[in-house]
Each structure stands twice: as C-alpha cells, then as structure tokens.
Amino acid sequence: MATLKDISQQVGVSVSAVSLALRDHPSIGQETRKRIWDVKKKLGYELKSKSNGIIVSGAYDGAAHRILTSLGIPLLVCGNYQLGPEPWASCEVDLIEGMRLMMQRLTELGHERIGLLTCTPEGVEFGHQLRQNYLSLVAEFQRHSVGITCERDYEASPDQSALQQATSELLKRERPSAIVAERGNLDVLDQCARQGLRVPQDISLVSLGAVMYETRPTLATVEADPVDLGRGIFEKLQRMMARPDYLITREHFPMRLIPGDSLGPIA
C-alpha cells in the first residue's frame, strides 16, 4: 500500500510538502502540486482518516517540529511559536488583543509609567512577542515605558530569586505606577512589600497569564478561558484526524481581563 513517504521519494520533496499538496495548500507551488497528485494517482494512494494525532506544547522549536511533521501524523501546536516558513496548525492566544485590554484598563485608571517583567527571553518567540506587543501598545496609548526586565538577565543572590532581584532593580530605578508581570509571581508581591509599596494603593500589578496559586491581594490577570482553549484544541485535532484534506490553519483564542484586588487607580 502506497504511503506519503513513497510519494515524497518519487517527487523529491518532503513528506510534509506532500501532505500540504494533497490538501491543496497554497504554500505548495502549482507545478509541484500537480507532480504530487500525478504520482498519487499512479501509486493508487488514497487519503484516509487518521486514528492518531499529536498535540505539542511547552519547549518546542523548529527542529522538533520538522521531526514530528515528517511522521505524517496530524500535528497541532498549542502555543505562540515561530516555526519557520512552512505553515503549521495551531491554537494560540490572541496576545496583542489581550495586552490591549490590559493597557486600556491601566490607562482608564490613570497609569502612565508602566513596566514589564518577563521570564521568557527575547530569543524565544513568545518572549519576543511580549516585548514587541508591549512597546507598540505603550506607544498606541501614549504611556511611558519604564523598563523591560528579563528574569534570566540576573544572577540570583543567595537570599533572593532572580525574579525578586529583577523586580527590586526595576522598582528602585524606575518607580512605575503599574507592573505587568508574565505569569504574576509571589516574588513580585514580596519585593513590592520590601520596598514599602502597598498593592494597589501605591502600585498596581497585572499578571499576564493565569496565576496557579492564591495571593493576597488577588492578582488581576489577562488570560484565555482554559475550558474554551482546551475544547478548541481537541476539536481542531479531531477535525484534522477525520479529514485528511483539512486545511492547515492557525486559530487565535481571545484573552480576557479578570479584575483582581491588585489593580487600582494611580495614587
């Protein structure tokens, strides 16, 4: 029985290119697509639904993506990644709109000096998106950026975590009226208290991403609905498994601003 690999070997292209061509994806040129379809007919290959699928998240890069796509199994990426020029199926959060909700609310409360604390390096796509979106929204809302600090830029001292040290440095150097912290951390709250800053009376905090623990005060968060996101991921993979001709797309899920006690008007 003919396989995608058989077609790819005869045409001289990758298995992923064959898979895309059989879905009539526009990323594959018309001439290459015709050659692939001709070989498909010659070998008697038939598109069949798949009984297996892969969902990937977490640490994931282009090299891992190329290996997994070569298996010819429906593959769905969960997260905001940059995986190269070839299209990939994904479920991603609408990061720019989520951050816009946050910036709009901070603006309404009178905040002008807003800082960003992120623990994802610039070299990682998600970290790059965070910084670029933050800077563009600061300009759009005519706010003042007071520093972008990455946790990994700091060597942790014996009595402080790297994020605590980064937070302390930002507070001492810039004195923002609000901080946006990626996956808001207890260390940020702790450092505010050490600096004698009350939340939200003296400074507001917003967590970009769900907080997995209880805090006092409770942190305002910008996040996607986990139920909607989880359902969307599995429904999309099921469609990909049932229909081999399902067009590869990147779907974005809205983020929401969940008010918390850490968000208040400027002092």
What mean pLDDT do residues 40-48 have?
A: 79
Residue 234: inside a domain, yes or no? Answer: no
Query: Average pLDDT for residues 201-215, to the nearest whole number?
Result: 88
Kindly calculate the radius of gyration of the chain based on its CA atoms and give it in whole angstroms. 23
Of 50, 79, 84, 80, the C-alpha closest to 67 is 84
Burial of 66 (C-beta count, 10 Å sphere; 0-12/13-18/19+): middle
The answer to whether residue 186 is domain-embedded is: yes
Question: Same domain, yes or no, for 99 and 43?
Answer: no
pLDDT of residue 126: 81
Do 5 and 118 share a domain, yes or no? no
- Could you please report the per-residue DSSP string of 91-124? EEE-HHHHHHHHHHHHHHTT--EEEEEESS-TTS
DSSP 168-208: HHHHHHH--SEEEEET--HHHHHHHHHTT--TTTT-EEEEE
Banded model confidence at residue 136, pLDDT cuts 50, 70, 90: very high
Q: Which residue has the tokens 């879905």?
A: 23
Q: Which residues contact 239 (CB under 8 A, 6 or more apart)?
A: 246
The pairing of beta strand 178-182 with beta strand 144-150: unpaired
**Model confidence at 199, in pLDDT bands (50, 70, 90)?**
very high
In a domain, 72, yes or no: no
User: Euclidean distance between the first and final Cα of the chain, in Å?
Assistant: 72
Q: What DSSP element (H or E) covers 8?
A: helix 4-11
Residue after which a domain boundary falls, among 208, 224, 240: 224
Q: Give me the pLDDT at residue 70, please.
A: 79
Residue 155's pLDDT is what? 57
Packing angle, helices 186-194 and 162-174, rounded to 10: 40
For residue 108 the two structure tokens come to 């309404």
- What pLDDT was estimated at residue 153? 62
pLDDT digits (tens, 9 = 90+) for 103-116: 999 999 999 999 99
The values of phi and psi at residue 140, to 5°, are: -60, -40
Q: Which of 215, 217, 214, 213 is nearest to 203 (CA)?
A: 217
Flag whether 28 is in a domain: yes
pLDDT tens digits, 19-35: 778 776 777 888 888 88
Residues 28 and 109 in one domain: no
Query: What pLDDT, on the 0 to 100 scale, is given for residue 232?
Result: 93
Same domain, 36 and 119: no
Asked if residue 31 and residue 108 are part of one domain, the reply reads no
Is 80 exceeded by the pLDDT of residue 170? yes
For residue 133, is it within any domain? Answer: yes
Residue 71: inside a domain: no
Let me know: does 254 contact 224? Beta carbons within 8 Å: yes
pLDDT, residue 40, reads 86
Question: Using 50, 70 and 90 to split pLDDT, how confident is the model at 158?
Answer: low
Evaluate if residue 60 carries a pLDDT over 70.
Answer: yes
Reduced to 3 states (helix: H, G, I; strand: E, B; else coil), residue 267 is: coil
Confidence of residue 222 (pLDDT cuts 50, 70, 90): very high
Burial class of residue 186, CB neighbours in 10 A (0-12, 13-18, 19+): middle
Residue 245 has pLDDT above 80, yes or no: no
The residue type at 128: H
Q: Domain of 107: which CATH number?
A: 3.40.50.2300
Q: Which CATH number belongs to the domain containing residue 10 in this structure?
A: 1.10.260.40
Same domain, 101 and 210: yes
* Tokens linked to 38: 């001709």
Q: Is the confidence at residue 141, as pLDDT, over 60?
A: yes
Query: What per-residue confidence (pLDDT) applies to 88?
Result: 87
Range of 37's domain?
A: 1-47
Mean pLDDT of the chain: 85
Cα–Cα distance measured from residue 263 to residue 247, given in angstroms and rounded to the nearest whole number: 42
In a domain, 248, yes or no: no
Is 254 among the domain residues?
Answer: no
Count structural domains, the chain.
Answer: 2
